[in-house]
Structure 1
C-alpha cells in the first residue's frame, strides 16, 4: 500500500475540508472522509492508491472530553494503515470543542511533542501571549464565547492545557528565538510567521505532533507543494445550486443577507416549517433553519438535511449540481443524508472555502465553509460566477 504525506484529524466536517483545501489548491490529491465510521471501508475502497492528503472528520466537537479523545485515538489507529509521514490535529481557530482532550489524545498516540499554532491570520484570527484574538478583539469579548453547544477556551491556552496535565511552553516568534524542545503553544500574527515556524521545523528535522487550523495547514501546503497553481474544473456546467446556510455565525448571516439583497428572486426556504419540501423544483434556492424554537441543534440539522434531500431529488437527470454548505453540523447532516462517504477536494475556491466532488462523482459538486469565514460578498460572488436565477 502506498503511503500518504499528511493525515488530518478534525472534529467537524467544515474544518476537515478547509484544512485540506490549501493542499488541493497546490495540486495535491486531498480527500476528506466525512465520518470516522466510514474511514476503514473508504481506505479499503481506495485499494492501495492512497491520496497524498487524507483528512477525517471525527464528529467530536460537541462530545464529552473522554469520548472525543477516544475517537481521535481510533482515527489514529485506522490511519496508521496509510503510513502518513506527518500528522495534523485540526483545531477550531476560536478554540471551540474539546481542543485540549483531542490534542492530548493525538500527542499520546504518537509519543511526539505537541506544537499548537491555532492562528489563521487571513481570517483575522491571531495568537498573542497564548490567547486568540479575532479581528483585533480578545476572543472572550467576541460572539464566539456565546456558543451554547461548544464554549471555547477562555484565557491563556497554556493555562487550560496545564490544568489537564499537559503544560505548554510559550513560543514568541522573533530573531534568535528558538523553539522549545517540549510541548509548546506558538504566537502568530501573520502568515509569514506561520510559514517561518514550519520552515524551522523542516530545516532542523524537528518531528512533532502538529495542531492548528487553516493557517498552519496553508504553511505546510506551501512548503510541501509550492504556491497555488492547480486550476479546478469550471463551474460553468452547474445547472442547479442550493445554499444550505445553517451556521449561527453573524458572518454567515451577513453573507446570506447580501445574497438576498442582490438576488431578490432567489427562493429562501425554511427547513423547520410545515410545508412539504417536495413542492419545490428550483434551479437555485437557499435553505435556512427558520423557526428553531423548541428544537435541538440535532433536530434542526436533521430538518435541514431532509429539506435539501427533497429539493435535490428533483434534480435527477441533470448534468451537474452544486451544494453550498455552511456550518459543520449542517454539512455533516446533509452529506450523510445524501449517502456520501468522502469528498475529493478540488481547490480552495476562496480562502477557507473548499470546493470538491462527492464520492468522486464530478456531477455532484460541493462547496463548504466554516460559518465565520469569508467576506460579506462571498455568496454574491458565487451567484454572479454561476449566473443562475430562480426559475
Structure 2
C-alpha cells in the first residue's frame, strides 16, 4: 500500500503483541479501550477492539520467539488493526529476530522505545538511561551479552533511518514529511524522543499513515497512543469490591537491586518475607521441600512475600528455571481466595500459567508500570516489570488489592488487626 493512502482514524482498533506479561499489562493499562490481556496467542481477538496479546517470547529461543511473532502477524494482520510490537525499553529480548518477522507484509515500521517516565530516552538513535547511554550502564548485568550501542544495532544492523529530535519537534507538517521521506528510504525508522510530547508527536504522525505502517516501542509509545484515543474510560466495573481484605501473596522474581529495598519497606509494614534458596528450588532431592516452606510462609501473615535468595555468582541461564520452580511451589499451595502481586514478567507469567490463567482484565494502573488486573474467577493480580518503582512500590501494589475500587487506598493491614 502506498504511504499516501488515506490515513487511519485515531479511534481505529489497535492490537499490541508483547514479549512478556509485565510489558503486556503495562500497555493495557494506558490504552483506554483495552479490556482484555490475552495469554493464549491462539485465542480469537474481538474485531474492532483494542487488545493486548502476551506471546511470552522473551525467554524462548531466538527461533522460537521469531516463530511466535510470525504466527501472530499472519493471524491478525488481515483484521485491519494497527499492529504495535511491544519492545523492551532497554532493548532486551530477541528484538532483531522478532522485528524481522513483525515487518513481514508491512509498508514500514516506526520504532520508538523511549519511556520518559522511567528515565529511558532516545537521542541520536541511542537509548539512554537517566541520560547515560545504555551500553555505559549496568542495566544488562543479568543478560548473556553486552548491551547494544544503538537501537539500530539491537535491530540486527538492518537498514534503518534515525529521525533526530529536532525533526520530531519540528511540527506536524514537517514531521509528516520527514517520516514519509524516511520510510521511502528505509523500511524501518527509529525516532528520537525525550518527553511524552515527543512520543505524542510520533504516534500522531504514524496514525496519519496507512495501518500497514506498523509500530514498535515500549510503554511510553503505548501511552501516547492511549492519550490520542481520548479520555480514559472507567474500569471500576472490572474491579472486585472485597467485603473484607483478602490474603495477598507477593512473589518477587527479579534480581534488581531495588527489589530488596522494596521488600524491606513492605516488611516494615507487617508483611512476612521468606527468601528461598536456588538450591532448594533447583537442587536434587524432595520436590515437596520448597512447597512446604512456601505453605508455612503463607500461613504466617496476611501479606506474604516470597523471593529467591541472592547468590554470589548469578547465572542468567538459571533465571527461567528458578522462576518456573518458584511458580510451581506458589501455585501448589496458593489459597483460592488469595490475591497476587507479581514482579518480573517471567515470574508473573509462570505463576499464572501454573494457575491456568489465560486472560486478564485490566482494572487500573497503581503507578507507572504496576498494573492491577482481575482474572475471570475474580482473583486480583498486580504485575510490574522487575526494575520499576520506588521503595514503596510493593506497599502501593498490595494496598491497591486491599482497597475497594473507588475508595481511598488504605494501609495493607488496616482492617485485619495488623500494623497500621
Q: 1:68 to 1:254 in 2, by over 3 A?
A: same
Q: Deviations over 1:24-60 (max 9, x none)?
A: xx3x2432222xxx332x32xx7xx557222222222
Match of 2:234 among 209, 230, 237: 230
Correspondence 1:168 to 2:168: no
Match of 2:95 among 71, 94, 99: 99
Determine the C-alpha separation between the residues in 1 that align with 2:114 and 2:194: 7
User: 8 Å contact 1:171–1:184 — kept in the other structure?
Assistant: no
Determine the C-alpha separation between the residues in 2 that align with 1:369 and 1:222: 21
Correspondence 1:155 to 2:135: no
- 1:207 deviation in Å? 4.9
Q: Which has the larger radius of gyration?
A: 2
- 1:213 deviation in Å? 0.4
Show the 5 A alignment for 1:255-334: 255-260=262-267, 262-263=268-269, 265-272=270-277, 273=280, 274-275=289-290, 276=292, 277-279=294-296, 280-281=298-299, 282-290=301-309, 296-312=318-334, 315-316=335-336, 318=337, 321-334=338-351
- 1:200 deviation in Å? 2.1
Query: Over aligned residue pairs, what C-alpha RMSD do you find?
Result: 2.7
Determine the C-alpha separation between the residues in 2 that align with 1:212 and 1:196: 14
Determine the C-alpha separation between the residues in 2 that align with 1:167 and 1:204: 18
Q: 1:235 to 1:257 in 2, by over 3 A?
A: farther
Structure 1 moving runs of 4+ over 6 Å: none
Show the 5 A alignment for 1:47-196: 49=46, 52-80=49-77, 83-108=79-104, 110-149=105-144, 151=145, 153-161=147-155, 163=157, 165-172=158-165, 173-175=168-170, 176-177=174-175, 178-179=178-179, 180-182=182-184, 183-196=188-201
User: 8 Å contact 2:89–2:114 — kept in the other structure?
Assistant: yes
Match of 1:10 among 18, 27, 30: 18
TM-score by length of 1: 0.84
Equivalent residue, structure 2, for 1:247 = 254
Determine the C-alpha separation between the residues in 1 that align with 2:374 and 2:395: 22
Determine the C-alpha separation between the residues in 1 that align with 2:34 and 2:152: 35
Q: Which ranges in structure 1 are unaligned for 5 or more consecutive residues? A: none
Comparing 193-202 with 88-97, greater Cα deviation is found at 193-202
Q: Deviations over 1:64-123 (max 9, x none)?
A: 433321110011223347x25210000000000111221121111x32211000000011
Determine the C-alpha separation between the residues in 1 that align with 2:19 and 2:54: 6
Question: How many residues are treated as equivalent by the alignment?
Answer: 364
Q: 1:223 to 1:291 in 2, by over 3 A?
A: closer
Q: Deviations over 1:131-170 (max 9, x none)?
A: 1111222211222121235x4642122244463x433343
Q: Which ranges in structure 2 are unaligned for 5 or more consecutive residues? A: 1-10, 281-288, 403-410
Determine the C-alpha separation between the residues in 1 that align with 2:67 and 2:53: 14
TM-score by length of 2: 0.79
Determine the C-alpha separation between the residues in 2 that align with 1:288 and 1:301: 10
Q: 1:148 to 1:198 in 2, by over 3 A?
A: closer
Determine the C-alpha separation between the residues in 2 that align with 1:290 and 1:114: 42
Determine the C-alpha separation between the residues in 2 that align with 1:231 and 1:33: 17
